[in-house]
Structure 1
Amino acid sequence: MTANSPLIRHLLAGTAIAIAMSVSLPAYAQEATQVAEPTAEQATTDQATELKPITVTGKGARVATSPLTETVERAEIQERMVTDFQDFSRRIDAGVNFNTQNNSINIRGLQANRVLTTLDGIRVPWLTDPRDSAQGGLNAFDFDSLSQIDITKGADSSRYGSGALGGVVELRTLDPEDLIEPGKTFGAITKATYDSANTSILGNAAVATHFNDTWLLFQGGYKHGNETKNEGDVGGYGTSRTEANPMDFNQGNFLAKIHQYIDGGHRIGLTGEYFNLDEDTDNMRGTTASYEPGSLKSGEEINRRRISASYDFISPDGTDWVDTASLVAYWQKQKLNNTTDGFRLRDGRADIIPGDPLLYGFPTGVYKRDNLLEQTTYGVSGDASKDVQLGGIEHGLRFGGELYGQKTHQYSWGQDNCPDVDWTTVPDWFGPQACRFLHSNASDMPDVDSAFFGIYLEDDIKLLDNRLTLTPGLRFDWYRHSPKSTAAYEDSPNFDEAYLKSSSDSRFSPKLRAAWQATTELELYAQWAQGFRAPSATELYQNYGQPGSYARVGNPNLEAETSNGFEIGAKYDSEDYTVQATVFNNYYRNFIDMVQIAPPGGEFPIAGITGYENLAHVQIYGVEFAGEWRFTDNWRTWGSLAWSHGQDTDTDEYLNSVAPLRAILGLGYAAETWGSDVSLTMAAARNKVSGEGFKAPGYGIVDATVWWEPEQFKGLKLQAGVFNIFDKTYWNAIDVPDGVPEDQTAFYSETGRSFRFSITKKF
């Protein structure tokens, strides 16, 4: 049975209708009952400027039930002065990393599009264009707009679909209910931050109000800064430079929400969001010899917009068809731009004379590029839950699905002084020819229309007086990529009709989890789950290159990645202690990787042909630990540890995306009006790498933060932090590209000693 058979098409249509019915029928089945406003108990916090937990957040069945899911509340994010995922991995969770080279989250050695990131239940894509010039997407939000982060490490196949091989990062933005205290109709919070690491200044504000059952929120932020400093000390132009390139950036976001409560446990919402990050860099390092000094500039811009409508339901008395339900319909457009602007020289070639054919290969004059990758997504996702008793056994049913489409577009615009010639007639005996392979004003891939569908069901079966919980789960995923030829793609010198082949597949992914409540505080669990990832449009259809130079191509015949994941662990939660430990072992089939298809020579003499292929067998295994000890009313200590090992088991090559052993140890004190944290972040040396991977030395760095809420100014909070106190030179192993010469690695070093200061005021 194929994924495009009539049976599958009827299954898709019927399931979509079933999902819609599961979240809409309660509206007609329930008698009118007013949704309760947030209670005083729910709103109480220890500190005046912390935001209270959400009462009705639209999470519905997405409430974390797996012992593999960890929730980080806004209060902890703000208290530890976390402003991005680099801070998150350094001061909260050693098992969550961020690769600044490709702007992607890294969990258990997997990154890019193998870690599923959602924002308010909507997928946020990681994108890369065929030239590797525009990459990213998982940095397209403002941390100050978040209310909480849920992280699931490893594949949980019965809940998440394509892309959740390494894990899932679920981001929740602020709701108006977060800001308004019980008995009030208005709430607001403002914040200003200065960070010396990139000399940035951030301003952020959120305001909310409600009129009876209508709640409104507006949140916005603006940030301006410069390059993030490293520990390099060599300036000037060229590849020997190790200081960071001069850069300035502007970041802005805006979020608007409206919630309407309806009698009977219903809430309808509408959200609009805008985010833009624009970076401009003075490229003083690299191939600057080909350009007039000071002329080579580059730009990176990421832009994300979305509009979404939501429906959430919580049964007031448990007598409805479902206990909880949520549905979100959305439109989202994410755009990446990479620009280059310079004045090219003839590489110092004094032997070139007018009329010499070498002029074709070494142009002079204005050189500009604007590489664009754009993806538009629209769809609907929903889930629901119901607790029932069948045959005297308690069942916790959770079910849901998603149906969404994508449109992917890529284009490279350019301006230069290359002659308009037929390059197949130009002699290729005289070495590198910039004009031969720096083609522009064309698309390096066709436009691609994609469709995805997924549906899941899982059941918590309570046995032995509810001490044993068995959770079987099953998910079905289907996808289809349909490339469309365009005039811009046909203008590409590497155009090939073979890349207009559609790609589709489907997969059932089962899961089985067993959890044993050994005591009221201790839970032991084991899980087996399969995972699935559909190849992306760029992996399938990118086609960049030109005869006489090199080529980087996709593979329309790629198969979807699959995984088998095994985990055992324990979780202990008491009044004074919280400890969790996990051992995992994951096996991957058809692992998609970039490989050398043909060495330099023949039609492609400069760098040969590289492209995507499926690796038959890859394995990643490791251990994770996290814990906190609240040993007095005011003192606590916490720790986090993560270690992974990854290899292609057919070739014994190591995966260079796997970070070395990392650990965090922290000590904190919190009184009524002030508190402080000190943390030590450590990493072991990484010596096992493949090819020209970077062998990162180990390190240990110390950070300290302090906060104060003066009694004389209610709602005011002052925070300060000093990071890398001892000015240690160190590297995040996954940030350093393969093949960097040893004398140039300082360019990729992390920031030395820096400080941060913020002022927050809650109204």
Structure 2
Amino acid sequence: MSNISRRFWLSCAAVGALNVSFMGSAGAQDADKQDAIELKPIVVEGQERGINAPTVLTERKTARDMQERQVDRIDDIGRLDPGINYNRTSDSINIRGLGENRVLTTVDGIRIPWLDDGARGVQGGISTVDFDTLSTLDIVRGADSSLFGSGALGGVISLRTLNPEDLLTEGKSWGSLTKGSYDSSDRSWNINQALAARANNTYILLQGGYRTGHERENMGDIGGYGVTRTEKNPAEYDQNNLLFKLHQHVDGGHRFGFTAERFYLNNDVHKLDSSTTTYVPGSFWEDKTRKRERISASYDYDGSGDAWLDQASVILYWQRLTEGDDTSAVRRSPPVGDYRRDNTIEETDVGINAIGLKAVEFGGYTHTFKFGVDGYVSTVKQQALGEDNCTPAIFSCAFLHTNQAEMPEVDGGTLGLFVEDQIALYDNRLRITPGLRFDWYERNPQETPLYEKNPAFDGYPADSSDSKFSPKLRAEWDAAENVVLYAQWAQAFRAPSSTELYMTYGGPGTYLRIGNPDLEPETSNGFDVGARFGDDRFGGSVSIYNNYYKNFIDAVSVSAAEAGVPPGMFPMGITEYVNRAHVQIYGAEAKAHYAFSNGWKTWGGIAFAVGKDTDEDVYLNSVPALKGVVGVGYATETWGTDFMMTAVARRNKVENPDSDYNKTPGYATFDATGWWEPEQFKGLRIQAGVYNIFDKKYWNALDIPDSGSVPKDYYTEPGRTFKISMTQRF
């Protein structure tokens, strides 16, 4: 970021600190006035019977849970659950062996797209969320098909940002939340300030955050220039986020809202691992940008028993997500001279989500109907701009694809309609929930001048459209007090992305990587059986699942005849997106916790999965190895400490068993954290943690790409690191 931008954010932090002091005194001055406040604002999100209440396949993590595990960005999400992993290479969440666009992520009910340009390595989406803005995080395992549409094959990460009501508790008219932290894994520090206020029935929230840091450390020990480097490339990044919310409560259980949010991340990377034969050593730089902007209007309703709806929620939104990688270097091999590639992919969505809930007595039983619609229109754009000293006489210029688009601009429409009915039997001890969802999508390529400059351009591809009904059936039985047994069958669906349908990368005389307009949508049948038991003191869960997928979309090598191109035109090979016929992923998960009466507690969990293409009899690299965690802690009213061990088994079951590149050894790491909330300073919390205490060298297997020339040690995780944070709430 520029020095002006940095000074601006530092000024914002200073203003926030002054506001904290002001609100501390203002709160004392308003103490006498608070007795006159009688409004009880609706909070739809937290009601267990409500629209967004967790199901037996959902686990809710609160801001307090994330704070205790020091989860303040997406890199840390694996600390919340052994079955949840973050893939840094693809910038996606992995649940039950699936990631990328097979796990749906939403923020305040608005889906965040996972983008991939298909050829130049620009991909991601989930890292455009500032975790310091979050109030809750819901983890949905598997497909809950009646509630979630395209993309929720592996599961759902549902995020909710802070509302002003979260800070204005106990009738307060002012509220504040300030957080600062330092993380040695990338030498980053951040500051985050949230301010909330109310005037009568009007609530307002303003939140701002800034983080700056460097490259994330690893255990590589080869430095210098060139492709053998295993140390991380030097980098500096700046991240900022702004969130504004306005809520207007109206008598009768109505709440109207407006939200504006902007996230921006800029990461400057000095690519010292670039080829010294192709580029002048030290001349290669990469500027990565990630930006997400959204504006939304919402309506929430919590009605009385006589209303025609018990609850309702509607969101109208506009959102734009942009991913860009701008690289520049000086070539020392023909064409000698300056080289630049500015690669971007962008998706803009305009949509609506609406959901209602109504409980009725029918046929002697209580039926709780949940129904709704979600739909959006989208525009996806991709382009690769740049420069070099190419001439027709230089053969290598055939590989330097620039100032073109690899796919046309694509307009699309997506619509989902769903309904489910929870039927309460035997005094609500047995609950049967059938559900049905209908999904439809259409993708329309548009005339795009930059796409016509593509050397492999051969006219515009055809439109793509399809639809799918996805039923589900779940049964829950309260076998004993605080013991629920359940079983669920659910189908799910994922529409092919614009990249998978329409990408065209390459040129005659070289190679070709193409999309496939005839792709079928992915579908699945998922079976879950499990139990949840206990309470906050002693409890846990266990589940066994088996998921079958059809038309699994993957990129494979094909012949010229299969690709529909003249033989010999692309002598270096053709890769095309195709549908794999059958894929299976099965596994099991278990967790338990126990809190002793003397302040001690213990917890543990384990996650296991196996995934294969059952037709080709090959394993999937997207499935992580067996992982388990166990911890013990002690807490008083003012301080506490936790110690946790994470153990991961060796991963041998990979797609290419003859290569060791994707195989990883087993390991165990140990972490220790502690916190202190001094009685003298109400609302203050200081927390610190040491991670990988014994400086173990290990890999997150999901970070390692399926193939590549980068040394494997480059993908090692950091050694011993520490993190410290301070939070002040008024």
C-alpha deviation, 1:364, in angstroms: 0.2
User: What letter matches 2:319 in structure 1?
Assistant: Q
For the structure 1 residues 188 and 403, does the alpha-carbon distance in structure 2 shift closer, same or farther, using more than 3 Å as the test?
same
| 433, 440, 456: which one aligns with 2:402 | 440
The equivalent residue for 1:14 is none
Measured in 1, the distance between the counterparts of 2:569 and 2:305 equals 69
* CA contact 1:268–1:311 (8 Å) conserved in 2: yes
Give SS of 2:170's match.
coil
For the structure 1 residues 399 and 633, does the alpha-carbon distance in structure 2 shift closer, same or farther, using more than 3 Å as the test?
farther
The equivalent residue for 1:699 is 667
C-alpha deviation, 1:55, in angstroms: 6.5
Measured in 1, the distance between the counterparts of 2:53 and 2:674 equals 31
C-alpha deviation, 1:36, in angstroms: 4.4
Give SS of 2:359's match.
strand
For the structure 1 residues 57 and 566, does the alpha-carbon distance in structure 2 shift closer, same or farther, using more than 3 Å as the test?
closer
For these two proteins, the number of residue pairs brought into alignment is 686
Measured in 2, the distance between the counterparts of 1:112 and 1:160 equals 16
Residue by residue over 1:710-759, the C-alpha shift from the partner in whole angstroms, topping out at 9 and shown as x without a partner, is 22222221111100000000000111123357x92111100100011111
Residue by residue over 1:49-72, the C-alpha shift from the partner in whole angstroms, topping out at 9 and shown as x without a partner, is xxxxx6667999542342001100
Give SS of 2:450's match.
helix
Moved more, 129-138 or 442-451: 129-138
> What stretches of structure 2 of length at least 5 have no aligned partner?
1-36
Tell whether 2:459 aligns with 1:471: no
Measured in 2, the distance between the counterparts of 1:454 and 1:60 equals 23
The equivalent residue for 1:11 is none
Give SS of 1:139's match.
helix
The equivalent residue for 1:748 is 715
Measured in 1, the distance between the counterparts of 2:385 and 2:367 equals 57
For the structure 1 residues 104 and 546, does the alpha-carbon distance in structure 2 shift closer, same or farther, using more than 3 Å as the test?
same
| 91, 99, 108: which one aligns with 1:120 | 108
The equivalent residue for 1:357 is none
- Pairing 1:64-463 to 2, within 5 Å after superposition: 64-89=53-78, 91-315=79-303, 317-346=304-333, 362-419=334-391, 421=392, 433-463=395-425
- Pairing 1:619-658 to 2, within 5 Å after superposition: 619-658=584-623
The equivalent residue for 2:18 is none
Measured in 1, the distance between the counterparts of 2:118 and 2:574 equals 13
Residue by residue over 1:637-685, the C-alpha shift from the partner in whole angstroms, topping out at 9 and shown as x without a partner, is 1122111100000010110010000111121222111111111111000
* CA contact 2:120–2:343 (8 Å) conserved in 1: no
Measured in 1, the distance between the counterparts of 2:220 and 2:38 equals 58
Measured in 2, the distance between the counterparts of 1:237 and 1:144 equals 37
The equivalent residue for 1:709 is 677
Residue by residue over 1:157-212, the C-alpha shift from the partner in whole angstroms, topping out at 9 and shown as x without a partner, is 11111100000110000000111231320000111111110000101100000001
Give SS of 2:277's match.
helix
The equivalent residue for 1:727 is 695
Measured in 2, the distance between the counterparts of 1:57 and 1:582 equals 25
* CA contact 1:35–1:266 (8 Å) conserved in 2: no
The equivalent residue for 2:570 is 604
The equivalent residue for 2:25 is none
C-alpha deviation, 1:35, in angstroms: 9.0
Residue by residue over 1:586-644, the C-alpha shift from the partner in whole angstroms, topping out at 9 and shown as x without a partner, is 000000011112499932233x1112100000000000112211122522211221111
* CA contact 2:202–2:246 (8 Å) conserved in 1: yes
> What stretches of structure 1 of length at least 5 have no aligned partner?
1-33, 40-53, 347-361, 428-432
* CA contact 1:61–1:398 (8 Å) conserved in 2: no
* CA contact 1:312–1:325 (8 Å) conserved in 2: yes
* CA contact 2:74–2:126 (8 Å) conserved in 1: no
The percentage of counterpart residues that share the same residue type is 50
Moved more, 636-645 or 298-307: 636-645
If asked which structure has higher relative contact order (CA below 8 Å, sep 6+), I would say 1
* CA contact 1:38–1:55 (8 Å) conserved in 2: no
Give SS of 2:77's match.
helix
C-alpha deviation, 1:298, in angstroms: 0.8
Give SS of 1:527's match.
strand
C-alpha deviation, 1:240, in angstroms: 1.3
The equivalent residue for 1:661 is 626
Give SS of 2:273's match.
coil
| 480, 501, 519: which one aligns with 1:519 | 480
Measured in 2, the distance between the counterparts of 1:201 and 1:150 equals 27
Measured in 2, the distance between the counterparts of 1:567 and 1:55 equals 28
Q: TM-score, normalised by structure 2?
A: 0.92
Give SS of 1:249's match.
strand
Give SS of 2:237's match.
strand
User: What letter matches 1:496 in structure 2?
Assistant: D
